[in-house]
């Protein structure tokens, strides 16, 4: 099948605007699962599998949060702590409407991978429980915390982005009005 016959948004990495970012993102998403599932074929050391899986999960978390989310769907999030009060709040950032065109293929891969991985880790947690392999539960819990955090944060970031663009459009296309609308709507999602 040639590139012209594929529709935008189909699951083909060749249609991506950022194929290296997409493939790296997918490699990190899959690698931690593969090491967890098939690590015992290559080594008998549970500690080695645990460490490698944790390192891959951490790399995936960082890459998704700081690079892939921004390049593939124009979204980014972080947590800030107020030094005076010690209160923390999440900050969401999206690309300005009209400045970045989100590729349908990139978006589809991104959202599919971001929601599928926590579901797979939940399935692996159930398997570990049912097979009485409780030694693997701490690793699965860490994986769930990292993947669910990114899933929730990017979901909220996407909602913030949609609400900001709706509010900005309602108040006019002027930069000041759009900025005020973005700030007002952004406070609801903190």
**Cβ proximity of 106 and 16 under 8 Å:** yes
* Number of alpha carbons in the 13 Å side-chain half-sphere of residue 154: 25
Q: What is the pLDDT of residues 114-139, one digit of tens each?
A: 999 999 999 999 999 999 999 999 99
Tokens 């700030």 correspond to 183
Question: Has this prediction a pTM greater than 0.95?
Answer: no
Mean pLDDT of the chain: 83
Mean pLDDT by 10 residues, the chain (190 residues): 57 80 95 93 91 97 94 91 91 79 88 95 95 93 96 90 56 48 46
Of 141, 108, 136, the closest CA to residue 22 belongs to: 108
């Amino acid at each position: 099948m040639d590139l012209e016959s594929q529709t935008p948004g189909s699951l083909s990495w060749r249609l991506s605007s950022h194929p290296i970012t997409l493939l790296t993102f997918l490699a990190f998403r899959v690698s931690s699962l593969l090491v967890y599932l098939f690590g015992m074929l290559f080594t008998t050391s549970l500690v080695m599998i645990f460490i490698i899986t944790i390192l891959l999960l951490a790399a995936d978390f960082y890459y998704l949060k700081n690079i892939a989310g921004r390049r593939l769907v124009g979204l980014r999030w972080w947590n800030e702590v107020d030094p005076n009060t010690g209160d923390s709040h999440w900050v969401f950032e999206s690309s300005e409407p009209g400045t970045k065109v989100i590729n349908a293929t990139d978006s589809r891969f991104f959202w599919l991978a971001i929601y599928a991985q926590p579901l797979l880790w939940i399935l692996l947690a159930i398997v570990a429980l049912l097979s009485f392999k409780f030694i693997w539960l701490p690793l699965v819990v860490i994986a769930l915390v990292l993947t669910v955090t990114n899933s929730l944060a990017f979901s909220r970031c996407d909602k913030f982005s949609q609400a900001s663009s709706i509010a900005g459009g309602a108040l006019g296309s002027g930069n000041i009005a759009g900025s005020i609308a973005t700030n007002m709507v952004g406070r609801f999602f903190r």
